[in-house]
Amino acid sequence: MNDINMTYEEALSHAPQEEPARQYFFIERCQDILEKLKEASGKEQFTFHIATFGCQMNSRDSEKLQGILEAIGFVEHATEEADFVLYNTCTVRENANDRVYGRLGYLNSLKKKNPHMMIALCGCMMQEEEVVAKIKKSYRFVDIIFGTHNIFKLAELMYERLEEKKMVVDIWEGTDRIVEDLPTDRKYPFKSGVNIMFGCNNFCSYCIVPYVRGRERSRSPKDILEEVKQLADDGVVEIMLLGQNVNSYGKTLETPVSFAELLTQIDQVEGLERIRFMTSHPKDLSDDLIEAMKNSKKVCRHLHLPLQSGSSRILKVMNRRYTKEQYLELVEKIRTAMPDISLTTDIIVGFPGETEEDFNETLDVVKKVRFDSAFTFIYSKRTGTPAAKMEEQVSEDAIKNRFDRLLAEVQKISSEVCGREEHTVQKVLVEEVNDHEEGLLTGRLSNNTTVHFKGDSSLIGKIVDVYLDESKGFYYMGTLRP
């Protein structure tokens, strides 16, 4: 079993069929090979570097990939001048693909200098057939290509590459599998993301995510709770529950459990201080969830609720399945239950067919809701989505004019509403040493606003009382209270 000259085919015949035992088998095989490579090369260690593009789901996936690489024996390196470089890719916008192609040329120059270097690509971009075809044709120096559904297989794919000495491509069109209990290396010791579901069933007309992340599948509440308890026991005080649409959690379980019910169960975990979640789709945000948030002492007073457009006509073409009026009604319910909540949003400007009247409807929602902040995007065609084929694409001049007006309104409102806690004492989770001014720490309020204040680095990871001296619009300057 420990024969390090075992071929990939022989390894397959010995490997357990069940996960995660199968992957631990391949982790051990890769450990053996890595030790032999160290002896042959005279190197004390082999290094890895992961570059993560895109959303928090990708960031969480990268923590899992890092855990596997460290279990094999690789040591993290700060730059791409490493022995194993992995790009965890995003494909929400087409220019994200172009960025990866551009950086691959640089990796090729590094690989020519390092005979041991391996390059791997994974993530959403790899779920596109034309992308994989292009890499196989034009970027033959890439060693491993895999997608979003099988990141747990990294050790097995690496073993195959090392034994077969050829490019390994393993892309799954979809899956209903969720593999638990593999190594993970968290970026922060005091906070962590926790996947509660994968995939998306919404098919918004501008979005590629359902095609590259697959259909919705929820983790069991038992597995989620177990993970959260382990994290809390390990010193984690804040978790971020992750899903493309957390509000539809539980629909694929044999015994359905709603997101509100899951949230209430997680709220009982001892040692945990804060619970965040994203992303919430307005069409699925239930009264039960609002009630669960209201009654919780741990759920943070911040909700990201993507609007995308304030025009009911455009929302219908986007396939968002709510109207302007329904969105405003939902905001009213949320604010009635939790008057102190911070609301943030996403808005797209220049969606195909958007008129000046449609845009003014969006401005109207922004003025009525008064978001703490908004991520504003200029619509860009995404090949493979229904919106990319739509006629009536909006002119660049009109889009720029509208975008500038929207941004000005968002920033004006944000500067007015974000200072409402000024001259009060608030709980702050200390996250890091401020890298702009010596002696300052940076942390976050429950409502996600940043606070800078003087303090010692020993406070990182702790929740402390801070007096908010002055609002600077998007952040506070504060004073630590004893």
If we measure between CA atoms, which residue out of 254, 192, 267, 288 comes closest to residue 225?
267
Characterize 311-346 residue by residue with b for buried, 16 or more Cβ atoms within 10 angstroms of its Cβ, and e for exposed. Answer: bbbbbebbebebbbeebbebbeebeeebeebbbbbe
| pLDDT tens, residue by residue, 410-457 | 999 998 898 899 999 999 999 999 988 889 999 999 999 999 999 999
Pairwise pLDDT comparison (440 vs 3), residue with the higher score: 440
DSSP 8-state secondary structure symbol assigned to residue 393: P
The yes-or-no verdict on residue 1 having pLDDT over 50 is no
- How confident is the model at residue 474, as a pLDDT? 83
- How confident is the model at residue 5, as a pLDDT? 66
| pLDDT tens, residue by residue, 289-327 | 999 999 999 999 999 999 999 999 999 999 999 999 999
Residue 14 CB contacts under 8 Å (≥ 6 apart), including other chains: 1, 6, 25
How far apart CA 19 and CA 12 sit, in angstroms, is 13
Token reading at 404: 């500038």
Q: Which regions of 256-329 does DSSP assign to beta strands (E)?
A: 274-278, 302-304
What are residue 433's DSSP bridge partners?
Answer: 441
In the chain, % of residues over pLDDT 90: 82
Characterize 211-249 residue by residue with b for buried, 16 or more Cβ atoms within 10 angstroms of its Cβ, and e for exposed. Answer: bbbbebbbbbbeebbebbbebbeeebbbbbbbbbbbbbb
Of the pLDDT bands very low, low, confident and very high (cuts 50, 70, 90), residue 22 is very high
How far apart CA 13 and CA 410 sit, in angstroms, is 60
Q: What are the backbone angles phi and psi of residue 86, rounded to the nearest 5°? A: -125, 125
| pLDDT tens, residue by residue, 209-239 | 888 888 999 999 999 999 999 999 999 999 9
How far apart CA 414 and CA 240 sit, in angstroms, is 24
If we measure between CA atoms, which residue out of 119, 139, 159, 158 comes closest to residue 14?
159
If we measure between CA atoms, which residue out of 363, 219, 375 comes closest to residue 304?
375
The yes-or-no verdict on residue 397 having pLDDT over 50 is yes
Of the pLDDT bands very low, low, confident and very high (cuts 50, 70, 90), residue 4 is low
The average confidence (pLDDT) of the chain is: 93
If we measure between CA atoms, which residue out of 162, 165, 155 comes closest to residue 28?
155
Residue 74 has, within 13 A of its CA and on its CB side, a CA count of 27
Of the pLDDT bands very low, low, confident and very high (cuts 50, 70, 90), residue 96 is confident
If we measure between CA atoms, which residue out of 247, 187, 184 comes closest to residue 218?
247
| pLDDT tens, residue by residue, 199-215 | 999 999 999 888 888 89
Centre a 10 Å sphere on the Cβ of residue 1 and count the other Cβ atoms it contains: 8
Q: What number of H helices and E strands is found in the chain? A: 14, 19
How far apart CA 282 and CA 455 sit, in angstroms, is 39
Domains annotated on the chain, with CATH:
8-170 (3.40.50.12160), 301-418 (3.30.750.200), 424-480 (2.40.50.140)
DSSP string, 263-276: HHHHTT-TT--EEE
Token reading at 219: 């983790």
| pLDDT tens, residue by residue, 157-211 | 999 999 999 999 999 987 777 777 788 888 899 999 999 999 999 999 999 888 8
Token reading at 210: 């359902």
Could you tell me which residues are annotated as the binding site?
55, 90, 124, 200, 204, 207
How large is the average pLDDT for residues 106-120?
Answer: 95
- The three-class DSSP label of residue 380 is coil
Total-model pTM: 0.83
The yes-or-no verdict on residue 383 having pLDDT over 60 is yes
Residue type, 188: Y
If we measure between CA atoms, which residue out of 464, 434, 465 comes closest to residue 475?
434
DSSP 8-state secondary structure symbol assigned to residue 372: S
| pLDDT tens, residue by residue, 29-72 | 999 999 999 999 999 999 999 999 888 888 989 999 999 999 99
CB 394 within 8 A of CB 358: no
Token reading at 89: 């890719």
How far apart CA 83 and CA 62 sit, in angstroms, is 17
How far apart CA 66 and CA 161 sit, in angstroms, is 18
What is the chain's Cα-based Rg? 24
Could you tell me which residues are annotated as the binding site for [4Fe-4S] cluster?
55, 90, 124, 200, 204, 207
The yes-or-no verdict on residue 94 having pLDDT over 90 is no
Pairwise pLDDT comparison (181 vs 409), residue with the higher score: 409
How far apart CA 387 and CA 379 sit, in angstroms, is 10
How large is the average pLDDT for residues 70-98?
Answer: 92
Judged on CB neighbours under 10 Å (0-12, 13-18, 19+), 441 is: buried
Pairing of strands 440-444, 450-454: antiparallel
Judged on CB neighbours under 10 Å (0-12, 13-18, 19+), 166 is: exposed
CB 134 within 8 A of CB 161: no
How far apart CA 49 and CA 36 sit, in angstroms, is 21
